[in-house]
Amino acid sequence: MSSTGRLETFADGVFAIAITLLVLGIGLPARNAALWSALLAQWPALVAYVVSFLTIGIMWASHHQMFTVIGRSNMTFAFINVVFLMVVAFVPYPTEVLAQRIASGVDATGATFLYGAVMVGIAIMFNVIWGYASGGGGRLLRPGLDPLAVAAGAHGYRYGPPGYVLITLLAFVSPVLSLAGFAAFAVYWVLPKGGASD
Amino acid sequence: MSSTGRLETFADGVFAIAITLLVLGIGLPARNAALWSALLAQWPALVAYVVSFLTIGIMWASHHQMFTVIGRSNMTFAFINVVFLMVVAFVPYPTEVLAQRIASGVDATGATFLYGAVMVGIAIMFNVIWGYASGGGGRLLRPGLDPLAVAAGAHGYRYGPPGYVLITLLAFVSPVLSLAGFAAFAVYWVLPKGGASD
Amino acid sequence: MSSTGRLETFADGVFAIAITLLVLGIGLPARNAALWSALLAQWPALVAYVVSFLTIGIMWASHHQMFTVIGRSNMTFAFINVVFLMVVAFVPYPTEVLAQRIASGVDATGATFLYGAVMVGIAIMFNVIWGYASGGGGRLLRPGLDPLAVAAGAHGYRYGPPGYVLITLLAFVSPVLSLAGFAAFAVYWVLPKGGASD
Amino acid sequence: MSSTGRLETFADGVFAIAITLLVLGIGLPARNAALWSALLAQWPALVAYVVSFLTIGIMWASHHQMFTVIGRSNMTFAFINVVFLMVVAFVPYPTEVLAQRIASGVDATGATFLYGAVMVGIAIMFNVIWGYASGGGGRLLRPGLDPLAVAAGAHGYRYGPPGYVLITLLAFVSPVLSLAGFAAFAVYWVLPKGGASD
């Protein structure tokens, strides 16, 4: 058993790097192209940057919030978090693929499914992390927490996987609608919820 | 409500990564080109590296200084900071575009507007962060602060947006003059101000 | 003599960056290629991403665990850790080479040897770090530790170098078998061991 | 006046990222080239990786050691450190140029001068940081330090700039000799010195 300090530092690092690497996925305009039309043609990469940045940023904040009630760690818990971070750190890849395919129009729906599958994977891992930490009678939770407050705070994680599945299915209508849904879902997590203080 | 510790760690990470990624924007000279003339031809990328590095560095220092009086955080405040960091982490992109366009001479004024717009965006977000933290009767400020000292320290943030607009407009004269202005404005924030201790 | 705080922060940073840079090694599918067949053709890069991510992640956790009993640092110890991190930060390179060669079929066995050699190097450095910290009568260990518990915890490091050598030799059968071995070995470190609490 | 905590975190971040980005400068072998001969042909990039990694790593350790006696910060000191980090974060660029030119044989001496100039710049900045922190009667030093011990510890910084100039001049004999000198000089800083404890 050890404290969660270094695990949080490591997770913060991976979140911060993955979110900042997103900018590398926006290709430069051609050297001699007219600037504004070249930038306009890149709107899928710019919109995807905003959506993925907000999404990873809110996921960081949620991870941060979850660890306000988790007080201990062990090797298994570290491993679960490494798997979680493996999916988070992968986000720049489907982001770039989605931007490429919305721009080219080839298999854009499929690229949205790839993006959505990664989001569903992260949402599932949130539940796995929480399930392990709060399972076994609150195995890794800080002592002295109010069980009702803990349960209320945790309630939200369940909405993640079905929420991301539904938003992904919007790609059958339009990949851009799906992208807007991912952005809206990120903002949703920030809104104050009944029964839970922020 | 929670402390600002992990928010500052995350912000420091994004600042540190964005500033260090700037070097990836400087293209290598061609393999067999004469070295010094090839490096000289790249002066816009080298100058842009220096200007953006100083700018992000000073913004980091200002963010750091602001958090010496901000003592608490919540989910809304975390979200505002994520939006702020989204603009900061974007800086390598307009930096590279500006260097490319000063070198090629195509739409260099437009590229300076893009660069300036990002700077104005960051300066506005500084005011949004400060406005939220200090609003509502000092919602997130540390207790026991001297209100006059807080007000004096905060005064400077207002100069950011108009300052960056003016410097951007220098691009009508010359993009390089504008670039020098951005560097000078970064240094300006470091100078000791009357009425505020550092 | 100084505390290990900043050394751990620096090491966490290098681990977090090296692990997150792995995603840059997965090439984008061609712009107009059918998406799923293009992604399927990239399975070596995707599998190598998972294996190297898990491996670096577990190495981070092991390094973290080792430092729960190491309480002090000096310039020599910092240097040893820099050499250790030099090998860890190199991992994205053999990862990308291995994925490239499994995909192309040219010298895939050789690429597995390169990958394995880096793993053996990291495993040896774990023993060097531990040997220096625990040598000289526990030169850098926290005072008041139970010597038997320390010895039991350290026992595992010895298995690293021969283990990675054996897994590398599986490349004579098949590079993919070797890759599966690296993944399995990463998970092995997470399993609870007899005689050592986690 | 503020503590140096967040400045050290930011500096650690930039050091960790700059050192880990070095691996991106090693180009992949061609997809279908024989592996070992392709890797052998890349020895300048591999050697440059080791030399720059050790150099940045030791500079990190020296910066860390310097801050064991520096206890306070202000806006000017933050700015000086940002300029210092600007040169540190630039290291991947001359590293890649040097490797490119030793491999191609075109202007390798000039590339060594570029590399050496960056090293001299960092060494000068070490003296500027120390001069500002220890000047004005120990402006930013921790109170209660032994002045003789502080002076002895600081003595070494003076050797940096002339040392790096001399090693750079070895490029007139051979750029590779110079590169070996940079590696040896990095190790030199680690050796215990008479009159100074580590």
Which residues of chain A carry a pLDDT beneath 50?
Answer: 194-198
- Predicted confidence (pLDDT) per residue in A42-54, tens digit: 999 999 999 999 9
Label residue D7 by pLDDT band (50, 70, 90): confident
Asked if A87 has any chain C CB less than 8 Å from its own CB, the reply is: no
Would you list the DSSP string of D102-167?
A: HHH-SSHHHHHHHHHHHHHHHHHHHHHHHHHHHHHHHTTBPTT--HHHHHHHHGGGGGHHHHHHHH
A138 torsion bin: left (phi>0), alpha (psi -120 to 50), beta (else): left
Query: How far is Cα A6 from Cα B6, in angstroms, rounded to an integer?
Result: 12
Contact C64 A111 (CB under 8 A): no
Note the pLDDT of residue D70. 87
Contact D75 B190 (CB under 8 A): yes
Task: Find the mean pLDDT for residues D148-161.
Answer: 75
Which residue in the set C74, C79, C104 is minimally distant from D31, CB to CB? C104
Residue with tokens 């994977």: A121
Residue D17 has pLDDT above 90, yes or no: yes
Higher pLDDT, C21 or A195: C21
Measured between CA atoms, the residue of chain C closest to residue A111 is C35
- Could you tell me what percent of chain D has a pLDDT over 90? 44
Asked if B53 has any chain D CB less than 8 Å from its own CB, the reply is: yes
Alpha-carbon gap: A192 to the closest alpha carbon of chain C (Å): 31
Contact A28 B74 (CB under 8 A): no
- Predicted confidence (pLDDT) per residue in A124-155, tens digit: 999 999 989 888 777 888 887 777 767 766 66
Residue D12 has pLDDT above 50, yes or no: yes
Residue with tokens 């693929």: A97
Indicate which of B74, B93, B100 best probes the interface with A, i.e. most A CBs within 10 Å of its own CB: B93
Asked if D14 has any chain B CB less than 8 Å from its own CB, the reply is: yes
Q: What is the mean pLDDT of chain D?
A: 87
Q: Please state the ipTM of this predicted complex.
A: 0.88
Indicate which of A2, A3, A4, A6 best probes the interface with C, i.e. most C CBs within 10 Å of its own CB: A6
Label residue D196 by pLDDT band (50, 70, 90): very low
Note the pLDDT of residue C193. 60
Contact D120/D68 with Cβ under 8 angstroms? no
Query: How far is Cα C34 from Cα C29, in angstroms, rounded to an integer?
Result: 9
Question: Which tokens is D26 given?
Answer: 């090693």
Residue C130 has pLDDT above 70, yes or no: yes
Contact B100 A33 (CB under 8 A): no
Residue with tokens 């570029």: D114
Neighbours of chain C (3+ CB pairs under 8 A): A, D
Q: Where are the strands (E) in A34-163, listed by range?
A: none
Which residue in the set A28, A58, A60 is minimally distant from B97, CB to CB? A28
- Could you tell me what percent of chain C has a pLDDT over 70? 92
Label residue C100 by pLDDT band (50, 70, 90): very high
Contact A75/C65 with Cβ under 8 angstroms? yes
Note the pLDDT of residue A195. 42
Contact B90 A24 (CB under 8 A): no
Residue C197 has pLDDT above 60, yes or no: no
Count, residues in chain B? 198
Q: Quick one: B137 exposed, middle or buried, by C-beta within 10 A (0-12, 13-18, 19+)?
A: exposed
pTM of the model: 0.90
Label residue D153 by pLDDT band (50, 70, 90): low
Report the 3 state secondary structure along A25-69: HCCCCCCCCCHHHHHHHCHHHHHHHHHHHHHHHHHHHHHHHHCCC
Label residue D82 by pLDDT band (50, 70, 90): very high
Task: Find the mean pLDDT for residues C134-141.
Answer: 81
Contact D18 B17 (CB under 8 A): no
Asked if A39 has any chain B CB less than 8 Å from its own CB, the reply is: yes
Contacts of C75 (CB under 8 A, 6+ apart): D61, D65, D189, D190, D192, D198
Residue window 110-129, chain A: list those with CB within 8 Å of chain C. 110-111, 114
Alpha-carbon gap: D193 to the closest alpha carbon of chain B (Å): 33
C105 torsion bin: left (phi>0), alpha (psi -120 to 50), beta (else): left
Q: Which residues pair with C2 in a beta bridge?
A: C73
Query: How far is Cα A133 from Cα A142, in angstroms, rounded to an integer?
Result: 10
Which residues of chain C make contact with A74, given a CB cutoff of 8 A? 198
Query: How far is Cα A25 from Cα A39, in angstroms, rounded to an integer?
Result: 14
Note the pLDDT of residue C195. 42
Label residue D119 by pLDDT band (50, 70, 90): very high
Which range has the worst mean pLDDT, C57-71, C140-154, D32-46?
A: C140-154
C192 torsion bin: left (phi>0), alpha (psi -120 to 50), beta (else): beta
Alpha-carbon gap: B146 to the closest alpha carbon of chain D (Å): 16
Asked if B12 has any chain D CB less than 8 Å from its own CB, the reply is: yes
Contact C20 A17 (CB under 8 A): yes
Asked if C148 has any chain A CB less than 8 Å from its own CB, the reply is: no
Nearest to C99 by CA among A115, A89, D31, A87: D31
Note the pLDDT of residue B196. 41
Alpha-carbon gap: D152 to the closest alpha carbon of chain B (Å): 30
Note the pLDDT of residue D192. 66
Which residues of chain D make contact with B47, given a CB cutoff of 8 A? none
- H helix and E strand count, chain B: 9, 0
Count, residues in chain D? 198
Q: What is the mean pLDDT of chain A?
A: 86
Contact D20 C89 (CB under 8 A): yes
- Predicted confidence (pLDDT) per residue in D24-73, tens digit: 989 888 888 889 999 998 999 999 999 999 999 989 988 888 888 888 88
Note the pLDDT of residue D181. 93
Count of CB contacts below 8 A, C vs D? 104
* Amino acid at site A26: I
Asked if B18 has any chain A CB less than 8 Å from its own CB, the reply is: yes
Note the pLDDT of residue D55. 93
Which residues of chain B carry a pLDDT beneath 50?
Answer: 194-198
B174 by DSSP, 3-state: which? Answer: coil
Asked if C92 has any chain D CB less than 8 Å from its own CB, the reply is: yes
Task: Find the mean pLDDT for residues C1-8.
Answer: 75
